[in-house]
């Protein structure tokens, strides 16, 4: 049954793209930092990457829907131990181009397929399942009529309700949220 749902979603997206202007968007951010003091050190790294493909749903091109994918990864090292978190997320995405010049935009996504991996320092790696919500607001700089670069402020919150233990999932209540800036690009065709 799940395969049938995925095929249906992909079919709907591509059927809509055949009748309207399509788009591809990419959004990313990376940061790392390190601290070294007498007797110890600490470091952290953050990588956020997102992409979406979809189509316009109005004649003016101000409302866009599509399917998004996001990948998040964090690493924190302190005193020789490392804690890692990573997540893959995908689901429907909505983008509203606020003004006629297509400069300001507001995006919302509901990543209904979200998996995470958490490895605490000195602990056992855990596999999580859940959903995520994401919102972004930003300004787009037109490079050409069909290509824009921009800056975004993003909020992401993943809620995990299941953890893989042994050979089965058990109920949990884990969340991971982040606020971060990013560089953004969108292509229309």
**Tens digits of residue pLDDT in 117-142:** 999 887 788 999 999 999 999 999 99
pLDDT band at 169 (very low <50, low <70, confident <90, very high): confident
Mean pLDDT across the stretch 39-58? 92
What DSSP string describes 29-73? EEEEEEEEETTEEEEEEEEEEEEEEEEESSTTS-EEEEEEEEEEE
| pLDDT for res 1 | 47
Average pLDDT, the chain: 89
**Tens digits of residue pLDDT in 63-85:** 999 999 999 999 999 888 899 99
Of 33-37, 57-61, 158-162, the range with the lowest mean pLDDT is 57-61
| pLDDT for res 39 | 80
User: Considering only CA atoms, which of 13, 106, 114 is closest in space to residue 71?
Assistant: 114
Whose tokens are 């399509």? That residue is 22
Residue-range domain boundaries for the chain:
2-188
What DSSP string describes 78-129? ETTEEEEEEEEEEEEEEEEE-STTS-EEEEEEEEEEEEEEEE-TTS--EEEE
CATH of domain 2-188: 2.40.160.20
């Amino acid at each position: 049954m799940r395969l049938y749902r995925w095929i249906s979603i992909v079919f709907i997206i591509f059927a809509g793209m055949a009748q309207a202007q399509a788009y591809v968007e990419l959004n990313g951010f990376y940061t790392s930092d390190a601290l070294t003091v007498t007797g110890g050190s600490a470091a952290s790294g953050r990588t956020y990457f997102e992409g979406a493909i979809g189509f316009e749903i109005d004649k003016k091109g101000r409302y866009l829907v599509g399917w998004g994918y996001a990948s998040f990864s964090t690493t924190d090292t302190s005193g020789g131990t490392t804690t890692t978190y990573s997540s893959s997320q995908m689901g429907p995405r909505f983008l509203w181009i606020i003004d006629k010049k297509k400069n300001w935009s507001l995006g919302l996504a509901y990543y209904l397929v979200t998996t995470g991996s958490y490895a605490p320092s000195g602990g056992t790696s855990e596999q999580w399942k859940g959903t995520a919500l994401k919102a972004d607001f930003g300004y787009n700089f037109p490079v050409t009529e069909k290509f824009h670069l921009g800056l975004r402020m993003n909020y992401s919150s993943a809620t995990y309700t299941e953890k893989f233990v042994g050979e089965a999932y058990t109920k949990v209540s884990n969340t991971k949220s982040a606020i971060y800036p990013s560089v953004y690009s969108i292509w229309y065709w």
